Structure formats: structure tokens, C-alpha cells
């Protein structure tokens, strides 16, 4: 799932002020459509997964392949974010943190946004096809479809949207894996499960923090119909616990080496960061406040790159 990063300064504009901004077609607005910071974080998972494969070692033009995977993934993810803003322009205009987005504010027309989204999405898929393989391109296209056609409309229907959205959100790991191996296999599924499980406490923490905004427009993204409850906090704890064995699984599958110094250091770092996120989830359960939810949210942003870079450090 391409989770929305909350509370960014550029998203805090008052909706009435945003409506007074004159239409524009500047580069900055097109970049905002792609949500570049968020897209880069998503593509990071794909690149790391690619570098963990055996197939990656066989490439003689490794840097070029990394750049192509990064570019293709960034374009596809950016396309998904752009389409999301087109489909949710009315709800974005209502929420203060999103009212300043290009389509919601009227700075970009939906026609221009659609053209941009289609061009970036198609170009990204073609890059992955020609530079890697058809399986990688298919997974990217499938991820784009799931995000815009299933997850986006489901957000107003059922909290099951979060589980549904976690599938395209975890597919970048599979995309990176198949880019190197041209097959999924146990390693690919483990990386997929890792990012799938990570998204749940991450996104529930976000939904907790911005619950008032989400409830205003009818988004149902917390496990409980009553909003932020101990049931939600308990779910956050459960999936934080599940992350522990999944984050260590690459060592048992031979993707990472656990018997040398780098492996021992990596395992220590991963255990520590898991305990950190679990502690924050438990604190949310007992304190039941936005500050604790925000702590889980920011902790999850740190958690993902730390675990993945630790895998790279210990790569077999």
C-alpha cells in the first residue's frame, strides 16, 4: 500500500485558501502529484530487494540496473499517487492537510493530471519490461491496478481496505526480487510478507493520528468502527510481534549470512529495532493517545530502512 504521509507542511493549507490559488501547470505541481518523498521510500524497498537477489550479482551493469529499477518504480508509484489524487479530489479539498494538493486546489485540471498519470505509469512499466522481464512489469501493473481500482474506492466502504491496500504496498519487494531472479520463490514471499506486515501498524498509527480528518470524509481505515480503540492498539501489537520472525527469516533462508560478524551485528540491530517498535505499540495500548500513535508512526518510518539495510549488510 502506498500509505499517505501525514502532517506535511505543504498539506496543511486551509481549504479556503487553496481554492483561491490560480490554476498552474508548473513542474512543482506535477511533482506533488507523484508525492516524491513517499514514492522514493516505496522504491527503496524494491531496490534493496533487488540487491539481495543472486541474479543481481550476475549483472555486469549493476548501477544502470539499479537506476532503471528506481526510475521505473518511481514512475509507476508516482502514477498511482496521481490517480489517487484525481479520484479523491473532492475529499482532499475537504481535509485541511490535503486541500493544497494540485488537483484538489484546482491548480491542475483532472485532464492534465490524467495525461500525466498515464504517461508516467506506462513509461514506468515499459522500463521494467525492457530492462528486466515481463514478470516484473506485470507485478508493477498489477500493483497500480490494485491501488487505484480496489484500495482507493474501498476506503469509504470498509476498514478491510487497509489489508487490501497492503498488497500493492508490499509488491515493490516482489518487483525488486523478480527483477533479479525472474521468479518469486520463498525469498520473494518472505520480503513481501515483511512489507505487508509492516504496513499495518504503520498505517493504523497514521489513521489514528488523522482520524478526525478521515472520519470527516468517510474513510474507514481503523480496525474498529468506533475509531481509535484498544482493539486497534492490540492489532498494532500483534503485527509488530509478527514482524520479528519475518524480519529474521532472510537469515534462515540463506539470503543473509548469520554466521559471521556482519550477520551477528545485523541480527542484533534487527532485534533491537523490533523491540523498539513493539515497545511503542504497547505504549499506545496503555496510553491511548495521539502522541503515542505518532510515536509508532515515526518509529515505523525508521524501522523499515534499518531492517532492510541490515539485510544488505549481512547479504550472503
Q: Is the pLDDT of residue 206 over 60?
A: yes
pLDDT tens-digit readout, 8-49: 443 443 333 334 434 445 889 999 999 888 889 889 999 999
Sign for the CA dihedral angle at 129, 133, 139, 140 comes to negative
DSSP 37-75: HHHHHHHHHHHHHHHTSHHHHH-S-HHHHHHHHHHHHHH
Comparing 134-138, 155-159, 222-226, the range with the smallest average pLDDT is 222-226
What pTM was computed for the model?
A: 0.88
Q: What pLDDT, on a 0 to 100 scale, did the predictor assign at position 219?
A: 81
Q: Is the pLDDT of residue 160 over 80?
A: yes
As a whole-number percent, the residues of the chain with pLDDT over 70 amount to 92
What grid cell was written down for 8?
Answer: 506535511
SS3 call for 255: coil
> Residue 176 in contact with residue 49, Cβ under 8 Å?
yes
Q: What pLDDT, on a 0 to 100 scale, did the predictor assign at position 14?
A: 33
Candidates 158, 134, 15, 143; CA nearest to 73 is: 143
Torsion of CA 126, 153, 159, 300, to 10 degrees: 40
Q: What pLDDT, on a 0 to 100 scale, did the predictor assign at position 25?
A: 52
What grid cell was written down for 170?
Answer: 508490499
Mean pLDDT, range 223-248, rounded to an integer: 91
Rounded Cα distance between 258 and 251, Å, is 6
Q: Is the pLDDT of residue 144 over 60?
A: yes
Q: What pLDDT, on a 0 to 100 scale, did the predictor assign at position 21?
A: 39
pLDDT band at 158 (very low <50, low <70, confident <90, very high): confident
Rounded Cα distance between 170 and 25, Å, is 32
Mean pLDDT, range 278-283, rounded to an integer: 97
pLDDT tens-digit readout, 81-110: 999 999 999 988 888 878 888 999 989 999
Q: How far is CA 80 from CA 92, 110, 310, in A?
A: 16, 14, 29
Q: What pLDDT, on a 0 to 100 scale, did the predictor assign at position 220?
A: 79
pLDDT tens-digit readout, 238-259: 999 999 999 999 999 999 999 9
Alpha helices in the chain (DSSP H): 15-18, 27-34, 36-51, 54-58, 62-87, 89-94, 102-105, 110-131, 134-145, 152-154, 161-181, 185-209, 211-216, 230-252, 261-287, 290-313
> Residue 160 in contact with residue 33, Cβ under 8 Å?
no
What grid cell was written down for 195?
Answer: 512489507
Mean pLDDT, range 279-299, rounded to an integer: 96
Whole-number average pLDDT of the chain: 89
Amino acid at each position: 500500500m502506498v500509505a499517505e504521509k501525514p502532517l506535511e507542511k505543504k498539506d496543511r493549507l486551509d481549504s479556503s485558501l487553496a481554492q483561491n490559488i490560480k490554476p498552474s501547470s508548473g513542474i512543482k505541481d506535477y511533482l506533488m502529484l507523484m508525492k516524491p518523498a513517499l514514492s522514493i521510500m516505496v522504491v527503496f524497498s524494491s531496490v534493496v530487494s533487488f540487491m539481495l537477489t543472486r541474479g543481481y550479482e550476475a549483472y555486469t551493469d549493476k548501477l544502470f540496473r539499479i537506476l532503471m529499477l528506481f526510475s521505473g518504480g518511481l514512475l509507476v508509484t508516482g502514477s498511482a499517487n496521481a490517480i489517487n489524487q484525481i479520484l479523491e479530489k473532492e475529499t482532499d479539498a475537504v481535509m485541511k492537510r490535503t486541500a493544497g494538493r494540485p488537483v484538489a486546489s484546482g491548480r491542475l485540471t483532472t485532464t492534465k493530471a490524467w495525461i500525466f498519470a498515464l504517461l508516467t505509469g506506462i513509461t514506468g512499466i515499459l522500463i521494467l519490461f525492457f530492462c528486466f522481464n515481463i514478470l516484473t512489469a506485470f507485478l508493477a501493473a498489477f500493483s497500480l491496478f490494485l491501488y487505484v481500482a480496489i484500495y482507493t474506492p474501498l476506503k469509504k466502504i470498509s476498514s478491510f481496505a487497509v489489508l487490501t491496500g497492503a498488497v500493492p504496498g508490499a509488491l515493490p519487494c516482489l518487483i525488486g526480487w523478480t527483477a533479479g531472479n525472474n521468479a518469486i520463490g520463498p525469498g520473494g514471499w518472505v520480503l513481501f510478507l515483511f512489507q505487508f506486515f509492516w504496513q499495518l501498524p504503520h498505517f493504523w498509527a497514521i489513521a489514528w493520528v488523522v482520524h478526525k480528518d478521515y472520519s470527516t470524509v468517510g474513510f474507514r481505515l481503523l480496525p474498529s468502527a468506533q475509531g481509535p480503540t484498544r482493539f486497534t492498539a492490540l492489532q498494532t501489537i500483534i503485527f509488530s510481534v509478527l514482524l520479528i520472525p519475518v524480519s529474521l527469516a532472510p537469515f534462515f533462508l540463506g539470503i543473509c549470512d548469520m554466521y559471521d560478524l556482519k550477520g551477528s551485528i545485523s541480527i542484533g540491530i534487527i532485534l533491537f529495532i523490533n523491540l523498539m517498535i513493539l515497545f511503542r505499540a504497547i505504549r499506545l495500548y496503555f496510553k491511548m493517545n495521539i502522541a503515542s500513535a505518532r510515536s509508532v508512526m515515526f518509529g515505523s518510518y525508521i524501522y523499515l530502512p534499518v531492517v532492510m539495510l541490515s539485510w544488505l549488510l549481512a547479504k550472503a
